[in-house]
Homo-oligomer: A and B are copies of this chain.
Amino acid sequence: MTFVYDFEQGSKDQKDLLGGKGANLAEMTVLGLPVPPGFTITTEACRAFLEQGKEPDGLAEEVSAHLAALEQKMGKRLGDPEDPLLVSVRSGAKFSMPGMMETVLNVGLNDRSVQGLAAVAGGDERFAFDSYRRLLQMFGSTVLGLEASVFHEALDGLKADRGAKNDLDLGVEDLRELVATYKQLIHDHTGRDFPQEPREQLDMAVLAVFESWNTERAVLYRRQERIPGDLGTAVNVCSMVFGNGGQDSGTGVAFTRDPASGAQGVYGDYLQNAQGEDVVAGIRNTVPLADLEGIDKASYDELLGIMATLEGHYRDLCDIEFTIEHGKLWMLQTRVGKRTAEAAFRIACQLVDQGLIDEDEAVSRVTGAQLAQLMFPRFDAGSERVLIAKGMNASPGAAVGKAVFDSSTAVEWAERGEDVILVRRETNPDDLRGMVAAKGILTSRGGKTSHAAVVARGMGRTCVCGADSLDVDVKGTKMTAADATVISEGDMISIDGTTGEVFAGRVPVRDSLVVRHFEGDERAEDDHLVLAVERLMKHADHRRRLGVRANADTPEDAARARRFGAEGIGLCRTEHMFLGDRKALVEDLIVAGSTDEQEAALSALLPMQRDDFVGILKAMDGLPVTIRLIDPPLHEFLPDYTELSVSVALEDERGNRDSKHHKLLDAVKKLHEQNPMLGLRGVRLGIVIPGLFSMQARAILEAASALIKQGMDPQPEIMIPLVATVQELELVKADIIRVAGDVEDETGVKLKFKVGTMIELPRAVMAATEIAEQAEFFSFGTNDLTQMTWGFSRDDVEASFFGTYLDKGIFGVSPFESLDREGVGALVRLAVEKGRAARPDLHLGVCGEHGGDPDSIHFFDEVGLDYVSCSPFRVPVARLEAGRSAADAISDTA
């Protein structure tokens, strides 16, 4: 095993072995770019060190050999008292990682070589001692473990003593004194002297980098980001070049194109007579990179040439760190640069046009998250605003309207044309109409997976939730901010769902051109960004294997989903159809004392349900519409048990005994469940309440029948929720088949429909083979499957322990946001295998919220689902990610 590679020996594809920084240094070296010579100690050496608890055998010898070669190349010896070779020691893991030791510069300096450095720098003792004190400071804090503040305090003390404003005001004698002070501090804190031997400095710095892999912060970061703990870091040892040797020297950063817009040109900053850390410290202002042309045209031209080489070579925007030492340009680092969402789309298309990448690669260069960013309206960047609170960024976008504190007011005001923001402590299903009517939703309680957040994301409504510094007084129709600002009903507020900010008053909003384009607004078509998005979406659609459907419960949502590119509805929930005006009928159904009363309520609901389905099937004419029979526990349609108990008790106490309320309370009490999520719901309702599911099936099939008569092509798929065992499905399916026969007989129309099931219980996963014998399709309900697999309920856990779990790195991300591949994902994979074993053409989809999550979409593609279904607003995101996943798969097998 080789532990050390010269920069000449590596390439950019060796990030696993050399880390990101080392691989790119090697790549530039091999390209013939001016990189200061050096070598990289591999991640394997680090892993061996961590496993064995000591420096692995052979490492010291290899370092010696590469160091000797470096010395020969540079014509200097490390720390030579006459003319010292100095090196930087930098960590460089595969993934960049906060918390790890980063850099020690000027290794090789000691009490003697500092004089040599001064001599070769033309007697510049100040420069030499400044370099030495920097080494002591960095080595002391990062290698020897002293608090950085120990050095800062000494420096500040000295400056105060000398009346110096900044470091440059200190003279050579001051720095000499500072060096002595630093050495004393190191001795006091560690009990030993700063190592004077240059090679010992180097070895200690290397091991310190290795050890920093396991600092608490690095471990926590890896846990949160799900980076494996056993990768280890590489160490880059690079000969020093100095940008602070005079006016013919300097340091800078450059981008090969504009990271904000993607436009080609010269972007970056330059600082004359300075080192990188001075730029960070902000001692002097940088100048635009273009100004370098006037300062040092030769270096400038060389740099532009190198930038073109790098972009052509990396076939992407690169960012670059460079130093000029006495007119000689040195490349210190390069990497593929970060960029804005807009730039990402535009750059990808430009690179295709330049012939640098193909369209598959272009699609893989942009992300669904970036597209989502481009789809939300945003507050105008330059405008004034008054921040009054900050909550969680639950559903992105920018919304402005009058604050209202209850759903009826929201509906009423919206109907007369006002923009409103619905403000609640928390929301529940009763607030649905208000949420639909509002431009945005603001709550003071609940996390990113609270009712408000989930429903808002589903509808594409802007939402800020859990803004707990706001005191929301629903009865008093006002809220009070922490700074005592009071917002009353009708006052204008603005909420930013992308940042979680809440502003008093109206903040100007910019529309999303991309959405206007998806909505069919032709005026948006000529925009550069829209053109880029359109082009990559087209290619993604062309590439993707995975279908994309939408979750939609109304004809309006269905129509929008279709405009956004949905190829059907993957989840049409029917419970929302039982709210509003129909709530009284549903109450009758539940409170019904006799079968007759139940049947009467069902008969009254039938024509309404039929109309619902006619609307939706019409909007999706010719495309499949998966309709889920009613799922939630019945008491969701009744008043809250505790609230009703209190109000009935108070009525009684006041002598206003109301027997109707008592009857209702009895019903609520009877239906009250300790754990409604684990209670009488889904298929269980269908089996226990005779006629409920058949009513729904009849409504669907009568709707389909009517549309067929009108010459349309409805494609209903009836979906049974919460199935655990094939026996449940058998019973319900037999009933649906019977109803279908009846409807065909009555209408004389031949029906075409499917019957399938949700897979949302681990039990259903284990029984998937048997279930697939009865089900024509599976739709994975990954919300419930996540709840059951982990044994926690979305409604309860966010507030109580998700925060702690995310902080401690038990989750990298909430398993409700992104599919937990190891647990829930493994069950999905198992169900796919078991289901297809029984029915090879079993149609498979997913309709949980994960259907719109980029990472999860790649997983669903990988395990072979046929489609994902997500909220209409996520449909373009899902199309893009499905395309990216297919493009990745093609390049993987290429």
Contact = CB atoms under 8 A, between A and B. Distances in A.
A796 B673 contact: yes
Nearest to A722: B791
A168 interface: no
B727 A810 contact: yes
A763 B824 CA distance: 7
B727 A223 contact: yes
A805 B685 CA distance: 11
Interface in A817-853: 820, 822-824, 826-827
A263 interface: no
A346 B766 CA distance: 42
A827 B797 contact: no
A767 to B, nearest CB: 6
Interface in A599-652: 641-642, 645-646, 649-650
A678 B793 contact: yes
A780 to B, nearest CB: 14
A314 interface: no
Given A727-B223, A766-B827, A810 B687 contact: yes
A789 B763 CA distance: 5
Main secondary structure, interface of A, reads: helix
A766 B815 CA distance: 15
A71 B641 CA distance: 77
Interface string A698-729: 00000000000000000000000010110110
A155 B567 CA distance: 69
B791 A688 contact: no
Contacts of A654: 653
Interface in A796-817: 796-797, 800-801, 804-805, 808-810
Contacts of A767: 822-823
A121 interface: no
A688 B822 contact: no
A790 B763 contact: yes
Contacts of A800: 673, 679-680, 684, 688
A6 interface: no
A675 interface: yes
Interface string A778-798: 000000100111111101110
Contacts of A766: 789, 822-823, 826-827
A46 interface: no
Nearest to A763: B823
Interface in A674-693: 674-680, 684, 687-688
A761 interface: yes
B763 A728 contact: no
A737 interface: no
Given A642-B645, A674-B796, A725 B810 contact: yes
Given A642-B641, A678-B791, A796-B680, A725 B688 contact: no
Contacts of A826: 766
A731 interface: yes
A305 B724 CA distance: 55
Contacts of A791: 677-678, 722, 724, 760-763, 784, 788
A761 B784 contact: no
Contact of A725 (B677, B788, B823): B823
Contacts of A673: 793, 795-796, 800
Contacts of A824: 763
A688 B223 CA distance: 18
A795 B790 CA distance: 19
Interface centre among A653, A654, A788 (most CB of B within 10 A): A788
A827 B678 contact: no
Given A797-B678, A823-B766, A687 B808 contact: yes
A789 B810 contact: no
Contacts of A680: 796-797, 800-801
A823 B679 contact: no
Nearest to A640: B642
A650, A731, A761, A762 interface centre (most CB from chain B within 10 Å): A762
Given A642-B642, A675-B796, A787-B678, A801 B688 contact: yes
A767 B822 CA distance: 7
B796 A679 contact: yes
A788 B824 CA distance: 13
Interface string A664-679: 0000000001111111
Contacts of A790: 724, 761, 763
Given A645-B642, A687-B810, A762-B827, A793 B679 contact: yes
A642 to B, nearest CB: 4
Contact of A793 (B645, B675, B727): B675
A621 to B, nearest CB: 35
A31 to B, nearest CB: 42
A688 B767 CA distance: 36
Contact of A677 (B678, B762, B784): B678
A451 to B, nearest CB: 10
A731 B804 CA distance: 12
Contacts of A646: 645-646, 649
A724 B677 contact: no
B679 A792 contact: yes
Nearest to A647: B649
A223 B674 CA distance: 30
Nearest to A820: B763
A233 to B, nearest CB: 22
A322 B673 CA distance: 57
| Max chain B Cβ within 10 angstroms of own Cβ: one of A678, A679, A826 | A678
Contact of A724 (B676, B793, B808, B823): B823
A106 B641 CA distance: 66
Interface in A843-869: none
Contacts of A677: 674-675, 678, 791
Contacts of A809: 727
A724 B810 CA distance: 10
A63 B680 CA distance: 53
A677 B797 CA distance: 11
Contacts of A725: 810, 823
Contacts of A789: 761-763, 766, 788
Nearest to A761: B791
A115 to B, nearest CB: 50
A762 to B, nearest CB: 4
Contacts of A820: 763
Contacts of A678: 675, 677-678, 787, 791-793, 796-797
A348 to B, nearest CB: 37
A418 to B, nearest CB: 33
Contacts of A684: 792, 797, 800-801, 805
A653 B650 CA distance: 8
A762 B823 contact: yes
A691 to B, nearest CB: 14
A731 B761 CA distance: 29
Nearest to A795: B674
Contacts of A792: 678-679, 684
Interface of A: 223, 641-642, 645-646, 649-650, 653-654, 673-680, 684, 687-688, 722, 724-725, 727-728, 731, 760-763, 766-767, 770, 784, 787-793, 795-797, 800-801, 804-805, 808-810, 820, 822-824, 826-827
Given A649-B650, A762-B791, 15 more contacts: A642-B645, A645-B646, A646-B649, A649-B649, A673-B796, A675-B676, A684-B800, A684-B805, A688-B804, A724-B791, A762-B788, A762-B789, A763-B823, A766-B789, A766-B827
User: Which 8 pairs show the lowest CB-CB distances between chains A and B?
Assistant: A678-B793, A762-B762, A675-B793, A680-B800, A763-B823, A679-B796, A673-B796, A727-B810
26 contacts: A650-B653, A673-B795, A673-B796, A673-B800, A674-B675, A674-B795, A675-B676, A675-B795, A678-B792, A679-B800, A680-B797, A680-B800, A680-B801, A684-B800, A722-B791, A724-B790, A724-B791, A760-B791, A761-B791, A762-B789, A762-B823, A763-B790, A767-B823, A770-B822, A784-B791, A788-B791
